[in-house]
Structure 1
Amino acid sequence: MRALRQIGTTDVQVTDISFGASAIGNLGRAVSDEETTAVLQSAWDAGIRYFDTAPHYGRGRSEERLGRFLKSKPREDYVLSTKVGRVLSPGPTLKEADGFIDPLPNDVRYDYSGDGIEASLEGSFERLQTHYADIVYIHDIGTYTHGAANEKHMQDLLVSGLDRLQRLKDRGKIRAFGIGVNETQVCLDLLTETDLDAILLAGRLTLLDREAEDGLVEKCRQRGTSLVLGGIFNSGILATGPVEGAWFDYAPASQEILEKVTALKAQAEGMGLSLASAALHFAHSYPGVASVLLGTSKVTSLKRNLDSLATKPPADFSRMFGSPPIGSLQANL
């Protein structure tokens, strides 16, 4: 099994590399059950024991597939996280929804209230074939997703949602909770309201996008909040490089971004690393990061990334890429 790192001040320990299950929810392309089983088994064989999913991923398809795979594994042998904020209910058959192909026939509504959170979890537990979640993330709250409508959602969360999460934790239905988002400001906002065991941050603490370094990293260190990093390739551009049609932050990359990535690529290659390898090592070695999510439906992609991480970066890697020295911030290990 891979190295274990602690989540906040809880007794939850996650593997340093985790499997992000959005792709097996058919994100961008339909994935067969056989492909799903193969990539999940490859992750398991590589020692990964932390799996992250959400109702959003294929309107429950990712959770359902992950639940089938993990059913044969002893429950204490792995860590499972899912998300709340979207409540699923039976709905029409669709060819595509929110970028996911052939989603399960479910409607979705946003609900960050206590009742909504518990209803979301009950559905997740059924699809995942489990009676508890190790970590639950409040999913996509913030203006990045909701714009002006976020005020109502935040009010629901503050009035009853956070209290319900704590009660679920006290009852043993969840072992830790936090927030899973693509923006840093809402993380800072919530940390003024409550303690969070972990923040799953997508795309805002990467080799390219350092937004989280402006306040959030230090705040997490002070509060004992672990970081779990997703989107470390920034929608693909740190994996493909600055090629024509490369995407950054869920859209085609601007000329400014292409130029920045061109410079990062040259810097990485000057150290004997590929751009993708440099992005992986940056996220994996960053102080305070408990786990790095690798989200893919392809065995070849998973193995390639794990092979990259197995090779140690040059001794001056952190200095060259501007990440803080390992000793300057206390990692939550």
Structure 2
Amino acid sequence: MRPGELGSSGVRVTALGLGTAQFGDLYQAMTQDRATEIVDAAWEAGIRYFDTAPHYGLGRAEQRLGLALRSRPRAQYVLSSKVGRLLRVDSSGELTRHWDFTEAGIRRSIEESLQRLGLDRLDIALLHDPQERLTDALRTGLPALVRLREEGVVGAIGVGTGDMTALAAFANRAELDTIMIAGRYTLLEQPALAGVVPAARAAGISLLNAGVFNSGMLAQEQPAPDARYEYQAAPRQLLARAQRLAQLTAAAGTTLPRAALAYAARDPLVASVVLGADSAEQIRTNVRLAQDPRPLDGLWSELVTLGLIPA
């Protein structure tokens, strides 16, 4: 897979990355064996970029990913995790998430992520969902990441969220190497194209495009009536839009999942399309679709004419 560089950081990620929210028991329980099978399938397909976060399953995703990667040569893959939430035991003995965008909190977050992963370093650190504490993330979180990059603790820094206010607040910050856009630059909807993507381009910031199936709605050739959106039941209007896209992609001789993957990777600013998976077979299927070389120019033109994607 072609590598894409994140800004001018020198960190290069493969065109497809593996996201690990599912490793944290997102919709169903995930065993370590299954997580390892997914990572093995990704590796066999050429994927060398893996993304995780403390937020996913209260650390379980990091633990499972770390175990799955333990036998792989560390120099041969790129790893990102996120900062802004520390995991702490509350007064009842339950493990909970605690917001912390201070420099001390971010350093501690990285240390604890490495402990859960069982690895020696992160390549990329991303401010996670900074909209929840936007002022803190801008005033203390971003400068902290800059210092960590200067110290060589991480190779590249960025932000990851699906919130448009937060994306807009960070898109013109030239200190960043990358922005992970979650579900806002997809075949179904493209609000990030209005301002975030042009601002990132001007600032020299690369994109990691995540959530490109919109919670799985675009991962099916025919979106099901019970499809999810943002981890909840899909709104009727969006479901109808996805079903219309499915009809048009079929008429063009392709499928909705393949078109969704191709669209997410169209812009050269996108260094990697980050996909989750519930099984090794999903990985193999998505890689096969992403590598389909047949052009889709006619489909894009028709979708522009119908007002379903911007010109």
Instruction: State if a TM-score over 0.5 links the two structures.
Output: yes
CA contact (8 A) 2:186 2:264 kept: yes
Q: CA deviation at 1:112?
A: 1.1
Q: Deviations 1:182-201 (Å, cap 9, x if unpaired)?
A: 12221221245552110111
- Bigger Cα displacement from structure 2, 5-14 vs 188-197: 188-197
Letter in 1 for 2:294: P
Q: In the alignment, which of 247, 265, 268 is matched to residue 284 of structure 1?
A: 265
CA contact (8 A) 1:43 1:302 kept: yes
CA contact (8 A) 2:146 2:175 kept: no
Q: In the alignment, which of 133, 136, 146 is matched to residue 125 of structure 2?
A: 136
Structure 1 residues 28 and 122, CA gap change in structure 2 (3 angstroms):
same
Write out aligned runs for 1:58-73 (5 A). 58-73=57-72
Structure 1 residues 113 and 275, CA gap change in structure 2 (3 angstroms):
same
Q: In the alignment, which of 193, 201, 204 is matched to residue 181 of structure 2?
A: 201
Q: Distance in 1 between matches of 2:11 and 2:247?
A: 39
Letter in 2 for 1:118: R
Unaligned runs of 5+ residues in structure 2 are none
Q: CA deviation at 1:90?
A: 4.0
Q: CA deviation at 1:4?
A: 0.6
Q: Distance in 2 between matches of 1:232 and 1:266?
A: 19
Write out aligned runs for 1:88-127 (5 A). 88-90=87-89, 106-127=95-116
Counterpart secondary structure, 1:285: coil
Match of 1:320 in 2: 302
Q: CA deviation at 1:91?
A: 5.7
Unaligned runs of 5+ residues in structure 1 are 95-104, 147-152, 326-333
Q: TM-score, normalised by structure 1?
A: 0.86
CA contact (8 A) 2:179 2:206 kept: yes
Amino-acid identity (%): 37
Letter in 2 for 1:320: E
Q: Does 1:15 align with 2:4?
A: no
Match of 2:142 in 1: 162
Structure 1 residues 92 and 242, CA gap change in structure 2 (3 angstroms):
farther
Q: Deviations 1:11-57 (Å, cap 9, x if unpaired)?
A: 00000000001111111111111111111111111110000000011
CA contact (8 A) 2:182 2:209 kept: yes
Q: In the alignment, which of 219, 229, 243 is matched to residue 248 of structure 1?
A: 229
Counterpart secondary structure, 1:58: coil
Q: Deviations 1:114-163 (Å, cap 9, x if unpaired)?
A: 11111111100111122321111100111xxx3xxxxxx22322332222
Q: Deviations 1:291-324 (Å, cap 9, x if unpaired)?
A: 0111013011111111111212335144334467
- Bigger Cα displacement from structure 2, 85-94 vs 244-253: 85-94
Match of 2:210 in 1: 230
Write out aligned runs for 1:42-81 (5 A). 42-81=41-80
Q: How many residues in Structure 1 have an aligned counterpart in Structure 2? A: 305
Q: Distance in 2 between matches of 1:315 and 1:186?
A: 32
Q: Distance in 1 between matches of 2:240 and 2:88?
A: 45
Counterpart secondary structure, 2:175: coil
CA contact (8 A) 1:318 1:324 kept: no
Q: Distance in 1 between matches of 2:283 and 2:256?
A: 16
Q: CA deviation at 1:73?
A: 1.8
- Bigger Cα displacement from structure 2, 19-28 vs 77-86: 19-28
Match of 2:23 in 1: 24
Q: CA deviation at 1:207?
A: 0.2
Q: In the alignment, which of 160, 164, 169 is matched to residue 184 of structure 1?
A: 164
Q: Distance in 1 between matches of 2:237 and 2:51?
A: 32
Q: Distance in 2 between matches of 1:260 and 1:42?
A: 32
Letter in 1 for 2:236: Q
Q: Distance in 2 between matches of 1:159 and 1:262?
A: 43
